[in-house]
Amino acid sequence: MEETPNPNPNPNPKARRIVKIKSSETWDSHLRQSKAEGTPIVAHFTASWCIPSVAMNPFIQDLASDLCHIIFLVVDVDDFKEIANKYEVKAMPTFLLMKEGVVVGKVVGANPYEMKKRIETTLQSNTHFVV
């Protein structure tokens, strides 16, 4: 019997919840999906040269594994200035917490404790915060 190749090269389905945005269309598609399915989004606005942003990556990977009902989007501000400008991202890292395609919270800075607290309270309630 011939073995069928696994179409998903990543055996951990939770790890697929982190998506690096590669086009404005991909961003728009995830916002539409969030709206249609009610899936929360955490958008991590980052830059390869920003040490605090890069330092948050392992923490975000852990969060994505623990909070598999949330889609984590990674947006490089150097590649997608128009998206960063639209959401008034002025510093990195900036995390937008979104429900149904709408920003319901914002965390600026590399503070894992605050980040986790805000995700848990904001994306599991109807409260709107901005830091």
pLDDT tens per residue across span 5-46 = 333 344 445 445 899 999 999 999 999 999 999 999 999 999
Within a domain: residue 129? Answer: no
Query: Which CATH number goes with the domain that contains 85?
Result: 3.40.30.10
For residues 88 and 31, what is the distance between their CA atoms, to the nearest angstrom? 17
N- to C-terminal Cα distance for the chain? 57
Within a domain: residue 127? Answer: no
Helix (DSSP H) and strand (DSSP E) numbers for the chain: 4, 5
Count: domains in the chain? 1
Of 129 and 56, the one with more pLDDT: 56
**Arithmetic mean of pLDDT, 41-57:** 96
